[in-house]
Amino acid sequence: MVDVRILIRLFERGFLLKLFFGLLFASLLILVDGFALIYFARSLGTYLVLAVEASVSLVGCLIVLDSTRRLAYLIRQRIREGVYPLREYRDMAGCMFAGVLIVVPGFASSAIGAILFLPGVRRLVGTVLIARLESDLVQTYEHLKLREFDDPDVRTRASRLQFADPVNEQKDPVIQIDEPPQDPPGMP
């Protein structure tokens, strides 16, 4: 079901203006990419241009995946520290947007994606992208915090790291069973 807020925004002039200019920019980017592909295919050969474009997309995809994996680790680490990871959220949003542009076929979109992938530019783009999602990100933070500390492995590791006392550390008692268990009293 469609959210009512989205339907109400369709009647706002500013929202429609942003929407159609965004679509105009996307279509212009597609036209420039198409022109570049046709131009380079005529000059260098179709198969070479397709191989270069596929290689650029593959390498860009691997770089973006590695970067998002590192950012996800940093977000979890900041959550464990009890710090709201706003900077990491911004970096993640910018990285994902740049990754989409890098993976989409075309030289212009890959070049714009590579520029947007630079750390300072990525954070700026991420700030713009998540500007209206602040309350959703706070809810995401709370959910991840609960999930992070609800995981028994994380809880055990955290308690060992936080409360370990090497001087008075006691080992778990070893239970040895030499004889079969007896029936409780009152049992035949």
pLDDT of 21 > 80? The answer is yes
Query: Does residue 174 lie in a domain region?
Result: no
pLDDT (0 to 100) of residue 181: 54
Q: What is the count of structural domains for the chain?
A: 1
- pLDDT, one tens digit per residue, over 105-164 is 888 888 899 999 998 899 999 999 888 787 788 888 888 888 877 766 555 554 444 444
Alpha-helix residue ranges (DSSP H) falling in the chain: 4-9, 13-44, 46-81, 86-103, 107-116, 119-129, 134-150, 152-163
Q: Provide, rounded to the nearest whole percent, the portion of the chain with pLDDT above 70.
A: 79
Q: Is residue 187 part of a domain?
A: no
Whether the predicted pLDDT of 1 surpasses 70: no
Report the pLDDT value the prediction gives residue 165, as an integer from 0 to 100. Answer: 45
Asked if pLDDT for residue 9 goes beyond 90, the answer is no
Which residues lie below 8 Å from residue 117, measured CB to CB, with a gap of 6+?
63, 64, 67, 94, 95, 98, 99, 102
Predicted local confidence at residue 13, as pLDDT: 79
Contact 56/117 with Cβ under 8 angstroms? no
- Residue 112 domain-assigned? yes
The better pLDDT of the pair 153, 5 is held by 5
Residue 88: domain span: 57-161
pLDDT for 162: 47
How much is the pLDDT for 183? 63
Question: Does residue 177 have a pLDDT over 90?
Answer: no
11 located within any domain: no
Contact 106, 53 (CB under 8 A): yes
The predicted pLDDT at position 74 comes to 92
Residue pair 36/30 in contact (Cβ under 8 Å)? The answer is no
Q: Is residue 134 part of a domain?
A: yes
Task: Give dist(CA 12, CA 57) in Å, integer.
Answer: 37
Can you tell me the distance from the alpha carbon of 98 to that of 67, in angstroms, rounded to the nearest whole number?
Answer: 11
User: Which amino acid, residue 48?
Assistant: L
Task: Kindly state the tokens that stand for 76.
Answer: 């979890």
In the prediction, which pLDDT does 161 show? Answer: 46
Q: Is residue 26 part of a domain?
A: no
